[in-house]
Structure 1
Amino acid sequence: MADSLREQQLCMAGHIRDPQANPPPPGIEARRLAVYRQLFFGNLQSLLAGSFPVLHASLAAEHWQALCEDFYANHRCHTPLFTEVGGEWVEYLQARTDQPDWVAELAHYEWIETALLLSDAAELEHDPEGDLLEGVPVLSSLAVPLAYAWPVSHIGPDHLPGEAPPEPTLLLAHRGAGHKVSFSRLAPLAHALLVALQDQPLSGRAHLAALAGAAGVEPAVIEEQGSALLLSLKAQGVVLGTRCDQAGASPLSSGRNEESAAAW
C-alpha cells in the first residue's frame, strides 16, 4: 500500500511538473490536475517574478514563461526553503548556455541583495581597533565584491545591451545599518584588494605589496592610498578590524540603490 501511494505521488508530481512529458495518475479528473498545476506553477512564477523584477520585466513574456516552465520541470532544487529558491534559479540560469550572457548576470545581481538581507552569517572574531596595515584586515561577511561582464546595474526593459562593454562592472554589495543593502562602484584596484581580503589572511601591508607587484609599481606608490582606502572601508563597516589570530599575516608564511564609487 505504501509503495502504491508513493508511486501515485511521484506520478502526480511528475505530471504537475511537466504534463507534456509525464502521463497523469489514473483516476484523477483532468480538470482537478490542471488546478493543482496552476496553483503550484503559479506560485513559483509569482515567487520568481517578485524576487527578480528587473529580469522579469526585461524578458519577453513568452521567454520568461518558457524559462520558468523548464526550471520547474527539469531543475532539481537542493533546498526545500522558499527563501533559497532564488539561488537555485541563478544556478539554473548560469547553466543555460543558450541564453544571452547578461541574463544570468542580472539574475545574480538581483539575487545577491536578497542573499545579504537574509544572511545570518557570523562575523569572524576581530579587534575593531587593530592596525589595518600591520594586522590581518577582516572583511565583513555582509560585504561581497562583485565583477560582471555586463553593466547589470543599468540593464532594464528599456536598455538591453547587445554586447558586453570592454570594461567589467565592478561593485561592492554591502548590508549596513538598518538591514539596508547598498551597491557601490569600485575601481579595479579597490576591487582587487577586497577580493584579496576575502581570499587570503595576509596583513594589510602584504596585500598592498602584492597588488603593487601585480601592477608593476613599488609598494610605496600605493601604500598611502591603500591605507586610506582600508580606513574608509572600516568607517563604512565593510572592514571590521583585524584578526585576533594573526596567523598568516606575514607574506613569508603564506607562500539597489547605487551609491558613489570607492575610487582608488
Structure 2
Amino acid sequence: MQATKRPDFIDQQYDFAAYIRNPEHNAAPDGIETRRMAIYRDLFYNNIENFAASAFPVIRAITSDERWHAMIRDFMVKHHCKTPLFLEIAQELLDYLQNEREPQADDYPFLLELAHYEWVELALSISEESAIGEDVDPNGDLITGIPQLSPLAWPLSYHYPVHRIGPEQIPDGETETHLVVYRDRHDAVHFLEINAVTARLLQLIQQNVAASGRELLESIATEMNHPQPQQIVSVGAEILLDLRHRDLLTGIHNIPER
C-alpha cells in the first residue's frame, strides 16, 4: 500500500522552522517575502536569547558576546524543547548544557555548576509546591520530634563557590561549597552558605522518616567520632531552631508511640 504523501503546507512548516533555528545552513521556505522571514528569524532568536540572559545573568556577564551567541544558536539547533512555556526555557537550556552541548576548550570549568545554581533560583521562584506538608506541627520540639525539611528548601553541594562568581570574581580552583537555596513564607528566594556538618544534617533530615532530631544529631556525632556527643546535640539544637526560623524547616512530625 502506497504511503500517503505529506501535505505541502506541513513541508513548508518544517522548512520554516529549520530556517528559523539555523538560517546559515537552511534555506528560507519558498513563497515568503525575505523581509518578513528576517522579522520572524530575528524575533524568535531575540526572544530566546533575552530570556536566557535573564535566567542566567552571571553566565551572560562573564561570557563574551561571540561565545554567548554561539552557545544560544547551538542550543536552538540541537535541542528540541519539550515545553512551549518561556519560564521553562531555563530548564531546557540547562538540559542542553548538561547533555547535548560539546564542551569547548575555553569553557569555564564551573560552567555546569553555575548554570545549575542560577536555574535553581528561577525554579524555586515559580515552584507550585506547598511549603507546609500534612500533619506537620510548626511549633513542635525539633529534638524530640521528626524534623521536616521544606520542599522549597534545596540543599546543594558544588565544587566551586558558585554564589560568589561574577565578572570581578572568577575562581582559580575548586572550593567545596555547601548551600541551601530556599523560598520563605513571603515567597522571597534566599541562599544560605552552610558548613559540611550542617549540610550532612540537612541530608539526613531530607532522607529521614522516623528518627528524632536528637537521634540525627547523635548519628552525626558518631560519624565524626566526636568525644562529646552531647555538645553536638546542643549546638545542633540551635542550628535546627535557626533553620526553622528561616523557613527551611516547616516543623516536625510527632514520633508514633511504640
TM-score normalised by structure 1 residue count: 0.84
Aligned-pair CA distance for 1:177? 4.1
Q: Percent identity?
A: 38
Q: Which moved more, 1:38-47 or 1:212-221?
A: 212-221
Equivalent of 1:3, from 4, 7, 15? 7
Equivalent of 1:55, from 54, 59, 68? 59
Residue in structure 2 matched with residue 151 of structure 1 by the alignment: 161
Once the two structures are superposed, the pairs formed by residues 1-264 of structure 1 within 5 Å of their partners are: 3-95=7-99, 96=101, 98=103, 99-122=107-130, 123-125=132-134, 126-165=136-175, 168-201=176-209, 202-217=211-226, 219-243=229-253, 246=255
Deviations 1:240-263, CA, capped at 9 Å, x for gaps: 11125x57x99xxxxxxxxxxxxx
Task: Tell me the distance in 2 between the aligned counterparts of 1:214 and 1:30.
Answer: 68
Aligned-pair CA distance for 1:79? 1.9
Aligned-pair CA distance for 1:238? 1.3
Aligned-pair CA distance for 1:208? 1.6
Specify every segment of 5 or more residues in structure 1 that has no aligned partner in the other structure, as ranges: 251-264
| Number of residue pairs aligned between Structure 1 and Structure 2 | 246
Please, what is the CA RMSD of the aligned residues? 2.3
Deviations 1:121-152, CA, capped at 9 Å, x for gaps: 02321111322222211111121112111111
| Counterpart residue type for residue 49 of structure 2 | Q
Deviations 1:156-212, CA, capped at 9 Å, x for gaps: 1122223323xx121121212432211111011111111221233232223223322
Q: Which moved more, 1:118-127 or 1:206-215?
A: 206-215
1:78/1:206 CA distance change after superposition, 3 Å: farther
Task: Tell me the distance in 2 between the aligned counterparts of 1:3 and 1:200.
Answer: 57
Task: Tell me the distance in 2 between the aligned counterparts of 1:135 and 1:154.
Answer: 36
Point out the structure with max Rg over C-alpha.
2
TM-score normalised by structure 2 residue count: 0.86
